[in-house]
Amino acid sequence: MSDGWSELPEPGRLRGRRQPVGGDLLAGRYRLAHLLGHGGAGQVWRADDLELGRPVAVKLLRQSGTTGDAPPDAIRAEARKAARLVHPNVVAVYDVVAGDDSPAFLVMELVDGPNLAEVLRTTANGQAASAQVAEIAVQIARALDAAHAAGVVHCDIKPGNLLLAPDGTVKVTDFGIAAISVGIPASTGSGQDRELLGTAPYVSPEQVRGQPATPASDWYALGCVLYELLAGRPPFVADTLEEVLGQHIHTAPVPIQTIRPDVNGDLAAVVMALLAKDPARRPASVQAVSAGVSGSRALDPSGQTQVLPVLDSVAPTAAAHGDQSTHRPDASTTWRRHRLLPIAAIATAALIVAAAVAVWRDSTTSTDAGQPQPGLTTKATAAPRPSSPRPSSPPATRSTPTSAGSTTPTAARLNTGATLTSLAQLLREQSRGREGKVGRAAARDIDQVIAYLAAGETDKAAEKYRDTGKRLAEAQRDGRWTPTPQITALLGQLDRTLVQGN
């Protein structure tokens, strides 16, 4: 199969190369529960840590069984670099298992919330208010500062790799995953032999030219993400991959305030500076980003970088240790490896990228009804042109607190929207029999609640949510519907924040 696994319908100890299923036991410790999503790097499963008795997220790295796969030592080395990074805005990597008789996998911190790609899809016009984007910018900048201080370059910053925790904290995931998923370091070779990692709408000009990825490349990608949050689309969209990559090198992005006149001028200036073609001209620290954001809060000293010591005496382990990580991975971003053509040929020949290229709107896809869908290899495609201009009016549903210990009004709205999005998804997953009908109907009602919040109509949102809750309670009393523990928890949270708060 294209994903490197063969079919085996029954759960058991996952060995060899076959399709994982719920119930599989990894390393004698991690029991796979259900598939959360899939992408170019592999599959992400919710699992149970049988030793510690807690849920975890397991990322099974996609390998084809060819010479292009990363060797176990390289996988462990990249995972260890990521695991040394401890920061509130970074999804923690706790352990790695890589051997010859089973798929390599990582165990990471569980984040019970959507990624920004999913939030974009549920927000009116895909646009956010200036204050909300400013808060998100500072949090991601903190994560990048921490990673770069630890000597780690992400190489694939994009909405699908930015997770929203229930408390409103933004967390960056998949540090080092882009490299180990295709069996090469973040940048190798020289000139036309160099491989390029990233996602086309967010890759830096210097990477397109075949130069190594550096911290400045991550800051450029952050600029692309912030631009998309404000404009509803990435800075460069075109009909072909070659056009998108060429625009990163040669084309100046349309000024944010041309698309969104309401965007704060200081924030617009920071975003445009991050998109500078010259890496040396980009802001390159959280201080630089925060200083340029009007009204941004003072930095939280609790978010200091921690680089853990390397223990040379510890040999690679056969079993992983883990906490939890529920990220909704970028499911249509499978990158294919090819050589880059010489830069002189960019204007006249196709420029091929080595890694997963995603259509920007589909940068993250969760699985339908929790059914495993093996990692799909997609041909490199460019970000499509939007079918119609984006309105300039921003929604009022997305924000992020600047520290994990505080929740601002905008952060509360963003957190509520994320909780509603998670609830709607869980309701849709109840797809069998009468319960499926009740769940799907309730999910449509929750979609309407999200729309009301996006329009700033909080009273209507609360009323619609109350009506939905009553119908679910009636269905439960009548035996037509049974909530899962996760649904019960989300309903309780929304009762406190959405109903009691109005």
- What is the per-residue DSSP string for 126-187? G---HHHHHHHHHHHHHHHHHHHHTT---S--SGGGEEE-TTS-EEE--TTHHHHTTTS-SS
Rounded to whole angstroms, how far apart are CA atoms 325 and 37?
12
Coil, strand or helix at 190: coil
Shared domain for 193 and 240, answered yes or no, is yes
Residue 442: which residues within 8 A CB-CB, separation 6 or more? Answer: 427, 468, 471, 472
Rounded to whole angstroms, how far apart are CA atoms 167 and 151?
28
Per-residue model confidence as pLDDT tens for the chain (502 residues)? 333 333 333 344 445 556 788 888 998 888 998 888 776 677 888 888 898 888 888 888 876 544 446 667 778 888 888 888 889 999 888 788 887 666 788 888 888 888 898 888 877 677 887 888 999 999 999 999 999 998 899 999 999 999 999 888 999 998 867 555 444 444 433 444 445 667 899 999 999 999 989 999 999 999 999 999 999 999 999 988 899 999 999 999 999 999 999 998 899 999 999 999 999 999 999 999 998 875 533 333 333 434 444 333 333 322 223 333 333 333 223 222 222 323 233 322 223 233 333 333 333 333 333 333 322 222 333 444 444 444 443 333 333 333 333 344 444 555 677 778 778 878 887 655 566 788 888 988 998 888 888 777 888 988 999 999 889 988 888 888 888 767 877 787 787 777 665 5
Total Cβ atoms within 10 A of residue 319: 14
Of 311, 344, 368, which one is at a domain's C-terminal end?
A: 368
Rounded to whole angstroms, how far apart are CA atoms 240 and 352?
11
Rounded to whole angstroms, how far apart are CA atoms 31 and 25?
5
Structure-token pair, residue 302: 């609790």
Rounded to whole angstroms, how far apart are CA atoms 11 and 280?
52
The pLDDT value given to residue 77: 81
The pLDDT value given to residue 284: 94
Q: 344 exposed, middle or buried (CB, 10 Å; 0-12, 13-18, 19+)?
A: exposed
Judge whether 179 lies within some domain. yes
Q: What angle do CA 55, 56, 62 make, to 5 degrees?
A: 145
Cα distances from 344 to residues 208, 220, 246, 347, in angstroms, run 12, 23, 12, 7
Rounded to whole angstroms, how far apart are CA atoms 155 and 214?
8
Dihedral sign from CA coordinates of 141, 143, 148, 154:
negative
Of 108, 141, 169, which one is at a domain's C-terminal end?
A: 108
Judge whether 183 lies within some domain. yes
Total Cβ atoms within 10 A of residue 352: 17
Judge whether 99 lies within some domain. yes
Q: 327 exposed, middle or buried (CB, 10 Å; 0-12, 13-18, 19+)?
A: buried
The pLDDT value given to residue 411: 46
The pLDDT value given to residue 196: 60
Shared domain for 274 and 205, answered yes or no, is yes
First to last CA, the chain: 53
Shared domain for 360 and 244, answered yes or no, is yes
Of 48, 79, 108, which one is at a domain's C-terminal end?
A: 108
Shared domain for 145 and 221, answered yes or no, is yes
Q: What is the pTM of this model?
A: 0.58
Rounded to whole angstroms, how far apart are CA atoms 226 and 202?
11
Structure-token pair, residue 31: 């029991």
Shared domain for 251 and 178, answered yes or no, is yes
Shared domain for 95 and 134, answered yes or no, is no
**In what helix (H) or strand (E) does residue 81 lie, and over which residues does it extend?**
helix 72-83
The pLDDT value given to residue 289: 94
Judge whether 309 lies within some domain. no
Residue 215: which residues within 8 A CB-CB, separation 6 or more? Answer: 144, 148, 153, 284
Structure-token pair, residue 19: 């399709």
Read off the amino acid at residue 437.
K
- The b-or-e profile of 201-231 (16+ CB within 10 A means b, else e) is bbbbbbbbbbbbbbbbbbbbbbbbbbbbbbb
Rounded to whole angstroms, how far apart are CA atoms 38 and 435?
26
**Residue 428 is part of which domain span?**
409-499
Structure-token pair, residue 277: 């073609």
Shared domain for 174 and 37, answered yes or no, is no
Shared domain for 236 and 354, answered yes or no, is yes
What CATH number corresponds to the domain at position 100?
Answer: 3.30.200.20
Rounded to whole angstroms, how far apart are CA atoms 340 and 195?
7
Given 3, 156, 174, 330, the catalytic residue? 156
Judge whether 151 lies within some domain. yes
Q: Are 456 and 396 in contact (CB under 8 A)?
A: yes
Give the total residue count for the chain: 502
Shared domain for 122 and 193, answered yes or no, is yes
Q: Are 372 and 35 in contact (CB under 8 A)?
A: yes
What CATH number corresponds to the domain at position 246?
Answer: 1.10.510.10
Shared domain for 77 and 170, answered yes or no, is no
Number of domains in the chain: 3
Rounded to whole angstroms, how far apart are CA atoms 221 and 276?
11
Which residue bears the tokens 């599959």? 43
Rounded to whole angstroms, how far apart are CA atoms 155 and 134?
22
Structure-token pair, residue 450: 């999200």
Annotation says 3 is catalytic:
no
Greatest Cα pair distance, the chain, in angstroms, is 70
